[in-house]
Amino acid sequence: MTSDLTTMLHARFPAQIIAAHNYRSQQTVLIKREGLLEITRALKDDPSMAFDFLMDLSCVDYLKFGKSQASAPTLTTPSPLPYYMEPKTDAETWTRGVSHDEYRFELVYHFYSSSLNHRLRVKVPLTSADLTVDSLTGLWHSADWFEREVWDMFGVRFAGHPNLKRILMYEEFKGHPLRKDYPVRKRQPLIGPAN
Amino acid sequence: MVATVDTTQLNWMTTRVDAALGWARKFSIFQYPFVTACCGMEYMATATSHYDMDRFGAGFPRFSPRQADVLFVVGTISHKIAPVLRRVYDQMADPKWVVAFGVCTCTGGFYDNYATVMGIDTIIPVDVYIPGCPPRPENVLDGLMKLQDKIAQGTRAPQAPDPAQRPDELHTPHRPEAHL
């Protein structure tokens, strides 16, 4: 097993890697946006890594993360809080590596190597001021629809994508519905009343 | 003196034309299944031999709206597919009926979000609502029999307005790529 993927990447791209951790053999690296293409190309082409499969690409909006439970329903009954609303102790609080205020969004890539049978998670924090990142469609074709979905739901632009248009919602849809500041009751029907 | 007639000996009967038409129509339901989601599995279970919708004359799904009498809307309808559903409804020839199959089509079900139509009766008139998530086949057959009663009586849900008379916000935008 190549349990030293993160250390290897650290040694090879010291300027691009923000943080790395290895939790229960799940290896994760946090990288700078500018180094994405360079690092992922190495992930694919380096025979010691040989990540031939981009399994998943998604995005996280940290707008309200850890700030308040304002969006959670208020409980009027004296029943105990559900586990996900209980205040967490410091030991359980997961640290992200960058500040939520500065880097509101984070792309999460999951890579898999079918020849070496190992996996790697790559995270790319993004500032809301400049939500553009390089497209990986040239390296993995599966990135095509994933990136369209992330554009549709979160509004992250992928530079170099051949066909960056909405994949789930309709073209007339305004905004990006999985952003935490999208109004939860907002409706944009094509026909019929805005129920 | 009143002449009495032994009706058991009669080999003819009288009826009204619309009653005869309703009786004929209720046993020849050509359905168009507009299946979008998991309710479709229950629809298939109802349609196959174990529950046998053919007993009610509804065993012959037509996949062209122009040949169908009853539109079965089976499964969640999203705002994206809503114009397609209305176009299918508009393509059906009169007389036509609509069945909302499952809670998602009745009210939106447990979906309350940016994507889902909160009940197809906001788009097209509905004759019979079959709630359930998904409804049991018995429930579907019950709804089918209620629909038969409705067909026999000749009653229908309020007609969808003439497309030309609809308010502007209800006009279907011309989007040939809508099904893509």
> pLDDT digit string (tens) for A80-115?
666 676 665 554 455 777 887 888 999 999 999 999
What's the pLDDT score for residue B154? 77
What residue ranges define each of the domains in chain B, with the CATH number in brackets?
17-148 (3.40.50.12280)
pLDDT score of A154 more than 90? yes
Q: Is pLDDT larger for residue A38 or for residue B175?
A: A38
A193 touches B: beta carbon within 8 Å: yes
Domain A1-66+96-195: give its CATH architecture. Answer: 2-Layer Sandwich (3.30)
This prediction's pTM: 0.77
Q: What is the pLDDT of residues A39-70, one digit of tens each?
A: 999 999 988 889 999 999 999 998 877 665 54
The ranges of chain B with pLDDT < 70 are: 1-2, 7, 10, 12-14, 157-180
The span from the CA of B119 to the CA of B161, in Å, is 18
Q: Does A169 touch chain B (CB under 8 A)?
A: yes
- Of A168, A145, A169, the closest CA to residue A158 belongs to A145
Check residue A134 and report its DSSP letter. E
Interface test mutation site (partner A, options B89, B114, B166, max chain A beta carbons within 10 A): B114
What's the pLDDT at B41? 92
**Closest residue to A189, CB basis, from B113, B117, B175:** B117
Mutate to test the interface with B, among A153, A167, A172, A190 (most CBs of B within 10 A): A190
Collapse the DSSP code of A186 into the 3-class scheme (helix H, G, I; strand E, B; otherwise coil) and give the result: coil
- For every residue of B109-147, DSSP letters joined together read TT--SSSB-S-GGGTS--SEEE-SSSPPHHHHHHHHHHH
In angstroms, the first-to-last Cα distance of chain B is 76
Cβ separation B170–A172 shorter than 8 A: no
Residues of A in contact with B114 (CB under 8 A): 177, 182, 186-188
Beta-strand runs (E) in chain B: 31-35, 70-74, 97-101, 128-130
pLDDT value of residue B179: 45
Chain A residue closest to B87 (CA)? A191
What pLDDT is recorded for position A92? 47
Task: Give the three-class secondary structure for A130.
Answer: coil
Mean pLDDT along residues A111-123: 93
pLDDT at A144 over 90: yes
- Write out chain A residues lying below 8 Å of B171, CB-based: 191
CB contact under 8 A, B114 and A191: no
Question: Alpha carbon B32 to chain centroid distance?
Answer: 8
Please list every residue in chain B whose beta carbon sits closer than 8 Å to the beta carbon of residue A187.
79, 114
- pLDDT for B161: 47
Q: Within an 8 Å CB–CB cutoff, is residue A73 touching chain B?
A: no
Question: With pLDDT > 90 as the criterion, what percentage of chain A qualifies?
Answer: 45
Mean of all residue pLDDT scores within chain B: 82
Interchain proximity A190–B108, CB inside 8 Å: no
Estimate the share of chain A in helix, then strand, then coil, as percent rounded to the nearest 5: 15, 25, 60
Q: In the predicted model, what is the mean pLDDT of residues A9-31?
A: 86
The residues near B95 (Cβ < 8 Å, ≥ 6 apart) are B25, B69, B156
- Mean residue pLDDT of chain A comes to 84
Q: Which two tokens stand for residue A99?
A: 């500040």
Q: What pLDDT is attached to residue A147? A: 94
> Which among A35, A52, A34 is positioned nearest to A43, based on CA atoms?
A52
Residue A44 CB-half CA count within 13 A: 16
Residues paired with residue B129 on neighbouring β-strands, in sequence order: B100
Instruction: Collect all residues of chain A within an 8 Å Cβ-Cβ radius of residue B117.
Output: 189, 192, 195
Domain boundaries, chain A: 1-66+96-195
B171 with A177: Cβ contact below 8 A = no
- Say yes or no for a CB contact (<8 Å) between A170 and B172: no
Per-residue b or e along B4-33, where b marks 16 or more CB atoms closer than 10 Å to that residue's CB: eeeeeeeeeeeeeeeeeebeebbeebbbbb
Which bin fits B144, alpha (ψ -120 to 50), beta or left (φ > 0)? alpha
Q: Are A28 and A118 in contact (CB under 8 A)?
A: no
